[in-house]
Amino acid sequence: MSLILRQLAVGDLKPLSLEIAPGEILCLSGASGSGKSRLLRAIADLDPHQGSVWLEGTEQSSVSGHCWRNWVRLVPAESQWWFETVEEHFPADKEQDLSALGLKQKMLKSPVSRLSSGEKQRLSLARALAVAPRALLLDEPTANLDPDATEQIERWLLQSIRAHQWPVIWVAHDPEQIARVASRHYQLKADQLREVSHGSD
Amino acid sequence: MEVIDLAWWQLGLAALMVVALAICSHLVRLGVEKSLLIAAVRTVVQLSLIGLVLEALFATTALHWVALMALAMLLIAGREVTRRQKRRLTGGWGFGIGTLSMFLSSFAVTILTLTVIIGPDPWYTPQYAIPLLGMMLGNTMTGVAISLDRLTETAWQQRAAIEGRLMLGQTWQQAITDIRRDAMRSGMIPTINAMAAAGVVSLPGMMTGQILAGSSPALAVKYQILVMLTITVGVGFGTLAGVTLASRRLFDGRERLRMDRLV
């Protein structure tokens, strides 16, 4: 399924149209405050916005909010936790395998307050994909990770994205990461989206 | 039993004790003497006025006057609920939801108590209807105010977590369920505690007043039990209604958390 934005406008951003094909990773960069997170929030329908968003033939407004967010999964830069232990945040009916993220299985039993920011970030990605979405919006998914963990998470994400053929918008700052994962690269600048061609900038 | 009449000069003696307290407060620099005296004056003025109103009301026994009085009490209680909230819903929703839930629970329970349980003739006899409604509204007001304040304040503090749950595809009800339960509980706990402590720790004011006014303790106790049970029902349903309506209002039709609806 592809993710399609038609004349989507939120806040100061100029209306933009985009189509992200199944399995395609669109990397989004731009200075902080340029509206990257606002854009992702609008696509997930967390903020009021103009224009329309489609998942293949289904328009955002034709299904309920929770149903849409169940399909189009936004993983925020800073993860939120509301129960005592990690495990309670995951669906109860499924075994979780954390080994691919470089985390120990017993971490599921530990209290959230004892996790490092890197562990929280990895666990929030695992939590977001525990119930399979149909499209993925990643807001700096490796911001708090060291180079080794970053590589591991990238590999895990790329594998999952290819296996499920999700259309993905991936907010990233590191040019090397963008070069590694992006199918296309766009930059948000002066309230506009510009495509950055490969090889330059 | 004849009740001993109180003359104004006798109340003046009680007032002198308050003045004495104010002087002591001034001497040890507590800094509360001003608000103490103002509050004391307010008590005297407000209660004297309501005494006049009730004297007139009890003399007429007309339904429309009783209803007008009840409406005035409801609106003042609604304003008080709004005033006690640190973050309230915008555009009159805070006042509207608070007043509506108090109206639904207090009026329903009061009317039910009057018609089915006590049964004065006519059922709206002001000697029964107004004090009963007053106690009901006073307590429901506290319950609704506490629970709405708790709901909006907690939702504000935990807005990121609520949105985190929405991002995982939870419905708005799932995303706010813990906060909602917590708010309802905090509105009902004071009433439940009051029931548990009644007679052991404290002698309830209404019962004490009735005994002072010459009723037999046995009858006063029965009325106190009735009042406490009905107050609990009124507070409980008022809190349920208020928190349910207000938590719905925190989300829009797309199940987005709308913190812009709080001031």
Q: Measuring CA to CA, which residue among A52, A29, A150, A138 is closest to residue A101?
A: A150
A53 in any annotated domain: yes
B87 and B157 both lie in a single domain: yes
Distance from CA of B157 to the nearest CA of A (A): 12
- Is A11's Cβ below 8 Å from some Cβ in B? no
CATH number at residue A147: 3.40.50.300
B100 and B215 both lie in a single domain: yes
A residues 119..158 contacting B (CB < 8 A):
127-128, 131, 133
Distance from CA of A187 to the nearest CA of B (A): 24
Query: Is A65 within 8 Å of B166 when comparing Cβ atoms?
Result: yes
A52 in any annotated domain: yes
CA dist A36 and B166 (Å) reads 19
The token duo for B123 is: 């059922």
B158 and B28 both lie in a single domain: no
The token duo for A77 is: 């830069």
Complex ipTM: 0.94
Q: For chain A, how many structural domains are there in total? A: 1
> What is the chain A residue with the closest CA to B179?
A82
B76 and B35 both lie in a single domain: no
Q: Give bridge partners of residue A136 from the DSSP assignment.
A: A73, A168
B142 and B233 both lie in a single domain: yes
Q: Measuring CA to CA, which residue among A133, A139, A145, A136 is closest to residue A102?
A: A145
Query: Is B163 within 8 Å of A48 when comparing Cβ atoms?
Result: no
Whether pLDDT at A200 is above 50: no
Q: Measuring CA to CA, which residue among B113, B97, B131 is closest to residue B238?
A: B97
B70 and B47 both lie in a single domain: no
B116 and B203 both lie in a single domain: yes
Structure-token match 């499209």, residue found: A135
Whether pLDDT at A201 is above 50: no
B46 and B79 both lie in a single domain: no
B13 and B128 both lie in a single domain: no
Q: Measuring CA to CA, which residue among A121, A115, A183, A179 is closest to residue A150?
A: A121
Digit-coded pLDDT (tens) for B59-81: 988 899 999 999 999 999 999 99
Query: Is A73 within 8 Å of B254 when comparing Cβ atoms?
Result: no
Q: For chain B, how many structural domains are there in total? A: 2
Task: Give the H/E segment covering residue A114.
Answer: none
Give the per-residue pLDDT at A97: 84
A122 in any annotated domain: yes
3-state secondary structure of B114: helix
The per-residue pLDDT string of chain B (263 residues; one tens digit each, 9 = 90 and over) reads 567 888 889 999 999 999 999 999 999 999 889 999 999 999 999 999 999 999 999 998 889 999 999 999 999 999 999 988 999 999 999 999 999 999 999 999 999 999 999 999 899 999 999 999 999 999 999 999 999 999 999 999 999 999 999 999 999 999 999 999 999 999 999 999 999 988 888 788 888 888 888 889 999 999 999 999 999 999 999 999 999 999 999 999 999 999 999 98
> What is the chain B residue with the closest CA to A74?
B167
Which residues of chain B are within 8 Å of residue A79 when distances are taken between CB atoms?
164
B56 and B183 both lie in a single domain: no
Q: Percent of chain A scored above 90 by pLDDT?
A: 82
Task: Give the H/E segment covering residue B21.
Answer: helix B8-27
Mean pLDDT of A71-100: 92
Which domain range does residue B10 map to? Answer: 1-60
B125 and B233 both lie in a single domain: yes
The token duo for A138 is: 């990643």
Whether pLDDT at A197 is above 80: no
